[in-house]
Structure 1
Amino acid sequence: MADVIESKIKNYRTAPFDSRFPNTNQTRNCFQNYLDFHRCNKALSAKDQDTTPCDWYQRVYKSICPSVWVNNWDEGIEEGSFAGRV
């Protein structure tokens, strides 16, 4: 399974279609992938497992989200004022 994930990450070009967010506005898709990345890292780190599968979410949110949003969310996580549940 890890080989499949690694090959998908290597061949990654842009965010694939996500049927949960079919509309043109991808704001929720951006935010959800950001949350999924941080939740995945937190869960796998707690179990002392490899966090490479989480890289998929990071690549997706980095291709969809404006960098200003990501910077603000990262600052919010560091300060403890982030609105999402990570």
Structure 2
Amino acid sequence: MSDAAEITKLSTAGFDARCWQNYVDYYKCINARGEDFAPCKQFFRAYHALCPNEWIEKWDTQREEGRNPSNFEV
């Protein structure tokens, strides 16, 4: 097989607890300080970098419907 014909297998990153924790910390932060509080944006960037989009979409839906198991209040 030539280098040009080499196949690359893509896969979703494995579980990383920092993903979920940054998601929860972001919503706790904005609930306590508001969306314009700059330090909250670090949590947002972190979970978007660590979490697969499908997970974020699922958690957002659960949170909006009040079914997410986490407590987002401080």
When the two structures are superposed, what TM-score results if normalisation uses the length of structure 1?
Answer: 0.63
Map 1:31-50 → 2, pairs under 5 A: 31-45=20-34, 50=36
CA RMSD of aligned residues (A): 1.7
Q: Which runs of 5+ in 2 are unaligned?
A: 1-13
* Structure 1 consecutive aligned stretches of length 4 or more whose deviation exceeds 2 Å: none
Q: Which amino acid aligns with 2:46?
A: V
Are 1:85 and 2:71 counterparts? yes
Higher relative contact order (CA 8 A, sep 6+): 2
For residues 56-71 of structure 1, the aligned pairs below 5 Å read 56-71=42-57
Q: Following TM superposition, by how much is the alpha carbon of 1:26 offset from its aligned partner in structure 2, in angstroms?
A: 4.9
Letter in 2 for 1:67: N
Give the structure 1 partner of residue 18 of structure 2. Answer: 29
Do 1:26 and 1:64's aligned partners in 2 also have CA atoms closer than 8 Å?
A: no
How far apart are 1:84 and its partner, in Å?
A: 1.1
1:51 is displaced (CA, Å) by 1.7
In the superposition, the TM-score normalised over structure 2's length comes to 0.72
How many residue pairs align between the two structures?
A: 59
Unaligned segments of structure 1, at least 5 residues: 1-24
1:79 Cα shift?
0.3
Q: Based on CA coordinates, which of the two structures has the bigger radius of gyration?
A: 2
